[in-house]
Structure 1
Amino acid sequence: MADVVYAVVPVLAVVLAGLFAGLFFAFSVAVMPGLARTGDRVMVEAMQRINVAILNPFFAVVFIGAPVAALAQTVLYAAAGAPGAAAAAGGASAAQAVVLAVTFAVNVPRNNALEAAGPADRLAEPAAVRSAFEGVWVRWNHVRTLVSLVALVCAAAALALF
């Protein structure tokens, strides 16, 4: 049984870290640049709908699973007496903790404010709503993308070092 755990958990940590990074990457290179080319109401409405649609079980597995799997990978490698692999996995855990902190400190409050503004077709000043949301959200999503990539590299390095 232990062999299965040592085989599955680290691979799961890498796969989930890749999905975690890929989600933010997709927003950085496709979703937000695409929405930047739209009108204010379209952008606000699209992000409001994305923010609702993304709250699904698949997203939850990745968003919660990646940090948990990285922590499990760290614990497994530390318990196995593999300090290099444990340190690399710890780097993945730390990076994913940073991503969660940024998400809850910056991106989620912006999402909530966007929702609280009301339906896009009823906004008196959609440009102001967009302006309060877009620039900060996009900049910090780039940070999440880069830090998630660090987490992926660390998780893969840990797997390779074990």
Structure 2
Amino acid sequence: MSTLSEIVLIAAVIAAGLIAGLFYAYTCSVMPGLARADARTYVTGMREINIAILNGWFALGFGGAPLLAAVAAALHFKSDLRAALPWIIAGFVLLLVMLIVTMAVNVPLNNALEAGFDGDNTDFEALRSKFEGVWERWNLVRTIAGIGGFGALVGGLIAHVRA
């Protein structure tokens, strides 16, 4: 077994677990919690979350998971490590779906939420209604993709260890 391939795969599993867990937390706690709030609190809360999440810790999991999965796949092309390759490729693809959904749907919705905010002059109800349902549906898609990616990478790690 290659030490580098093991290290990269373990790092990919950890990063994928972190990002899947983050999106899972949104799905089962953050968004249901915000759903109970009035429109002003909902919009304000989402704006603050969108600002706060743009940090290095988030970037490590969000960008790092698919990148590390891609590197792990490349390192597993060796014949003695190929048993893990289908799992790792599946994990990479699912993490790529998570990334694409986020960049194609959730981020533009976040940007639209920000653009529609006009302080006390904001129509909070209208802004919330354009954002909430669509954002939450696509968050569920990226959550499922992230969890699937994490699970597939765990499968790859198990196959790697058994090889």
Decide: shared fold, TM above 0.5: yes
Give the equivalent residue in structure 2 for 1:148.
146
Displacement, 1:110? 0.4
Equivalent residue number for residue 126 of structure 1: 124
SS of alignment partner, residue 121 of structure 1: coil
The answer (yes or no) to whether the contact 1:42–1:120 under 8 Å persists in 2 is: no
- Percentage of identical aligned residues: 42
CA RMSD of superposed structures (Å): 1.4
- The CA deviation at 1:84 is 2.9
Check 1:150–1:57 CA distance in 2 against 1; reply closer, same or farther (3 A cut). same
Q: TM-score, normalised by structure 2?
A: 0.93
**Alignment partner of 2:120: what SS?**
helix
- Mapping of residues 1-162 of structure 1, within 5 Å: 3-123=2-122, 125-162=123-160
Superposed displacement of residue 118, structure 1: 1.8
1:140-160 Cα offsets, whole Å, 9 max, x none, are: 101111111110111000010
Unaligned runs of 5+ in 1: none
What stretches of structure 2 of length at least 5 have no aligned partner?
none
TM-score scaled by length of structure 1: 0.94
Name the CA distance, whole Å, in 1 between partners of 2:84 and 2:126: 48
Question: Moved runs in structure 1, 4+ residues, more than 4 A?
Answer: none
Q: Could you tell me how far 1:81 is from its partner in structure 2?
A: 4.2
